[in-house]
Amino acid sequence: MGSTLQILPEQASSVAGQVDALYFFLIGISAFFSLLIAGLVIFFAVKYRRRSESEPAPEPATGGTALEIVWSVIPLGITMVIFFWGASIFFTINRPPDDATEIHVVAKQWMWKLQHLEGQREINELHIPLGRAVRLKMTSEDVIHSFYVPAFRTKQDVLPGRYTQTWFKPIKAGKYHLFCAEYCGTNHSGMIGWIHVMDPTEYQAWLSGGAGEGTLASRGDKLFQDLACTNCHKNDGSGRGHSLEGLFGKTIEIEGGQKITVDDDYLRESILSPQAKIVAGYQPIMPTFQGLVTEDQLLQLIEYIKSTGKKGEKPAAKPAGRKEAR
Ligand code: CUA
């Protein structure tokens, strides 16, 4: 933010340096070859110009195997370097570390709604701790938006009807721009916000400052009762619907014999389009909640379902060897 001309935004995340290094490599390679080719064209045009009308035309050149191999192999080598370098950064950017803190993002025309698992809600502002990886689970209430933080070198589209994710690990405390990077209507340019990277202790203080509404999971629990989900989804498995306790992350069999893992997207689909994938052995009697629950409430319900398995802290079920009775 000084008076010096800044070519790139600050490097405020763990991947920013890597992204910039590749970027400068690409610029460097492009500049080197552009100058080399332009220079040689001019040099040869001057050197081999026709000096007089009487000068005979030169012999036309024919192939040169050695030369052709050289100009094929060198570019191949360079593009492979670019490919593997780029792919490795891409993998890093797309794989959040296991210990990342999850934060939920719901985009809508024209604002960012951010929700911490502990209960804090924010609009167009996101407070995160310094040095801790943060994973964003994102969805949209209307059209496509894109979560863009230049200082973190991160940009991820946010789509209606499904979850996308991105992650970053801030390495510098401060305040950074958040933009929407996908044209989403009249006020697209106003869909901006701030990321506040705080010292971890300040962050803890901030976090405990206003979680009056309870955690996401506890609000989901309440909603689960309010919507009367408990009438069918009984935890002891005696209900007409599948028990949801400890269901998250498990592999289940659905009608037709296919096996699927229960994840965010499956739970989301099962709440909005219950008939899409029925658990084997159950009747397709669940009504849809499309239009009855908001994106925020969906997140709460999913967090609640995730939390049910953790309560008892039972050791994981027996691995392999025995088939679960259905
Ligand atoms: Cu949201 Cu552009």
Q: Indicate which atom in ligand 1 lies nearest the CA of residue 158.
A: 1
Asked if residue 191 has its Cβ within 6 Å of ligand 1, the reply is: yes
- pLDDT at residue 50 tops 70: yes
**Cα of 167 from ligand 1 centre, angstroms:** 19
Cβ atoms of 174 and 9 closer than 8 Å = no
Residue nearest to atom 1 of ligand 1 (CA): 145
DSSP-assigned letter for residue 57: P
Contacts of 257 (CB under 8 A, 6+ apart): 280
182: which 2 tokens?
């996908």
5: Cα separation from own chain's centroid: 31
- pLDDT at residue 320 tops 50: no
For the chain, give the mean pLDDT.
84
State residue 212's pLDDT score: 64
Asked if residue 184 has its Cβ within 6 Å of ligand 1, the reply is: yes
Q: Indicate which atom in ligand 1 lies nearest the CA of residue 110.
A: 1
User: What is the average pLDDT across 193-222?
Assistant: 81
Q: Give the integer Cα–Cα distance in Å for 12 and 123.
A: 22
**Cα of 192 from ligand 1 centre, angstroms:** 9
Higher pLDDT, residue 170 or 296: 170
Q: What is the largest CA-CA distance in the chain?
A: 103
State residue 300's pLDDT score: 81
**Cα of 111 from ligand 1 centre, angstroms:** 8
Question: Can you spell out the DSSP letters for 236-285?
Answer: TS-SSS---TT-TT-EEEBTTS-EEE--HHHHHHHHH-TTSSPBTT--S-
State residue 136's pLDDT score: 93
User: What is the average pLDDT across 218-235?
Assistant: 78
Q: Give the integer Cα–Cα distance in Å for 147 and 315.
A: 38
Sheet holding 125-129, edge to edge: 125-129, 193-198, 174-180, 145-149, 154-158
241: which 2 tokens?
């619907």
Q: Give the integer Cα–Cα distance in Å for 196 and 175.
A: 5
State residue 312's pLDDT score: 47
Asked if residue 108 has its Cβ within 6 Å of ligand 1, the reply is: no
Is-cis flag, bond preceding 71, omega within 30? no
Cβ atoms of 139 and 297 closer than 8 Å = no
Q: Indicate which atom in ligand 1 lies nearest the CA of residue 185.
A: 2
User: What is the average pLDDT across 252-267?
Assistant: 82
Higher pLDDT, residue 39 or 266: 39
**Parallel, antiparallel or unpaired: strands 111-116 and 101-108:** antiparallel
Please give the single-letter amino acid code of residue 12.
A
Helix (H, G, I), strand (E, B) or coil at 194: strand
pTM for this predicted structure: 0.69
Task: List the single range of 91-105, 123-137, 212-226 with lowest mean pLDDT.
Answer: 212-226
Binned at pLDDT 50, 70 and 90, residue 318 comes out as very low
